[in-house]
Amino acid sequence: MLRLLIILLISVAFGDVNSELIRIPLTKFKTVRQSFIEVGTNTNIINTKYGPCPGNPVPEVLFNYMDAQYYGPISIGYPPQTFRVIFDTGSANLWVPSATCPYSNVACQLHNKYDNKKSVSYKPNGTAISIGYATGSMKGFLSTDTMSIAGLNIADQTFAEAVTEPGATFAAAKFDGIMGMGFNRISILNVETVFDNMLKQKLVEPKFSFFLNRDANDQYGGEMLLGGSDPAYYTGNFTYLNISRPAYWQFKMDYMEVGGAKFCNGGCQAICDSGTSLIGVPTALLGPIQKAIGAKKEGGLYQVPCNETSTLPNLNFSLGDKLFILEPRDYIVNLTNSVTKKVRCISGITGIDVPWPRGPFWILGDIFMGRFYTEFDKGNNRIGFADVKR
């Protein structure tokens, strides 16, 4: 058994091309991060349904840590050095800890580190890069090497070697680094994204899809399918929404209704972000939405009495003239304190303000993606949602 901290990730990248990216870990959830949780170690289950034929979709199996961090393996260099990364549709850069990080960097020391001296395919770049987060900055430098994901080899991928990690909270993270799946427009220093590089090398079709398993006790955490979508995980048809601005995976939302109260009335912008654990709403709406849900603030968290979970209202999201309904079991997160064994039932809605000109927008994170299988269709500049089979 491992004793680990929970980190609920909020990974919205603010900032234009060539300006600093600000990703906001969920500081409001300090009490959550401070509560120790015991979990077992997952073992990888390989999905071999798709063959290695060129152009076929390839599945990347994900781990699910406490429904809050979904990550999977990649490798960089030759011979391959492996890392666990979050596949984050809310940012566009790839970074992993660097073997050159100082001993004082605890987060780096506790994770897998890339050592360019041990890779024969390494190509130096050296340009300094900095990605800002609310807890601190990731600082490092660019390098280029071959990388591999889901059995595909990608030549000449430029990425950041992190020398300084974004704050002590990353020490407890189950993942080593982050691989951005957003558009190149939000890539710091305009580094070509991994997915664009894969498309340039004609490795897959221009789309990818996520299945996030919301059963944290299941060893199978989910799947990111590169090059297609997997009917094994969804029922019915996709509802597609055009991307309104190809930077984040951004689209128009018509409204969200809960307990008879309507929010985002008349329409607003939303993004789909696999790197954010919860659903982010503009902070001005947080109080009224929690009130409509029936959640009360206690110890910095909006909570509901656990025995009343099933009586709470649904969240009805209207997207592309279709209702996407989250039931209480979808949006209430149970957190167990391993010391006291006390279970708290927290509302999976949090307040995040993304300032103009990036925002404002709502952030549909893992809670939403866990209920709706999501296809990120770059070729057609659209995003599709379908019911997860369950």
Ligand X SMILES: *[C@@H]1O[C@H](CO)[C@@H](O)[C@H](O)[C@H]1NC(C)=O
- Residues with catalytic function: 88, 273
- In the bound state with ligand X, the residue whose beta carbon lies nearer, of 309 and 337, is 309
Residue 17's Cα: distance from chain center in Å?
20
Candidates 7-15, 251-259, 272-280, 359-367 — which segment interacts with ligand X by CB under 6 A? 251-259
- Per-residue string for binding with ligand X, 173-202, x by CB under 6 A? ----------------x-x-----------
Candidates 100-108, 263-271, 301-309, 368-376 — which segment interacts with ligand X by CB under 6 A? 301-309
**334 binding ligand X? (CB under 6 A):** yes
**313 binding ligand X? (CB under 6 A):** yes
Residues 125, 264: Cα–Cα separation, whole Å: 45
Minimum CB separation from ligand X for residue 96, in Å? 16
DSSP per-residue codes, 310-336? GGSPPEEEEETTEEEEE-HHHHEEEEE
Minimum CB separation from ligand X for residue 97, in Å? 19
Nearest to 251 by CA among 368, 85, 115, 111: 368
| Of the residues 308, 339, 342, 390, which one makes contact with ligand X according to CB under 6 A | 308
Query: Is the CB of residue 240 less than 8 Å from the CB of residue 383?
Result: yes
- In the bound state with ligand X, the residue whose beta carbon lies nearer, of 21 and 191, is 191
- Per-residue string for binding with ligand X, 339-358, x by CB under 6 A? ------x-------------
The structure tokens 């919860």 sit at 278
**242 binding ligand X? (CB under 6 A):** yes
Kindly tell me the burial class for residue 341, based on how many C-beta atoms sit within 10 Å of its own C-beta (0-12, 13-18, 19 or more).
exposed
| Of the residues 44, 127, 265, 283, which one makes contact with ligand X according to CB under 6 A | 127
Bridge partners of residue 364, in order along the sequence: 272, 279
Across the beta sheet with 245-246, the strand order is: 245-246, 249-253, 268-272, 362-364, 279-281, 349-351
What single-letter amino acid sits at 240?
Y
Minimum CB separation from ligand X for residue 104, in Å? 27
Minimum CB separation from ligand X for residue 143, in Å? 9
State which H helix or E strand residue 143 sits in. strand 136-149
| Of the residues 153, 184, 239, 314, which one makes contact with ligand X according to CB under 6 A | 314
Residue 130's Cα: distance from chain center in Å?
20
| Number of helices and strands in the chain (H, E) | 6, 30
Q: How many residues bind ligand X (CB under 6 A)?
A: 26
Residue 319's Cα: distance from chain center in Å?
21
Candidates 30-38, 69-77, 161-169, 305-313 — which segment interacts with ligand X by CB under 6 A? 305-313
Query: Is the CB of residue 167 less than 8 Å from the CB of residue 25?
Result: yes
For ligand X, the binding residues in 279-298 under the rule CB under 6 A are: none
For ligand X, the binding residues in 79-108 under the rule CB under 6 A are: none
Residues 210, 390: Cα–Cα separation, whole Å: 15
**257 binding ligand X? (CB under 6 A):** yes
Quick one: residue 202, left, alpha or beta (phi over 0 = left, psi -120 to 50 = alpha)?
left
| Of the residues 17, 128, 306, 339, which one makes contact with ligand X according to CB under 6 A | 306
**316 binding ligand X? (CB under 6 A):** yes
**325 binding ligand X? (CB under 6 A):** yes
State which H helix or E strand residue 194 sits in. helix 194-200
Is the peptide bond prior to 97 cis by the omega test (within 30 degrees of 0)?
no
* Interface with ligand X (CB under 6 A): 125, 127, 142, 158, 189, 191, 236-237, 242, 257-260, 305-309, 311, 313-314, 316, 323, 325, 334, 345
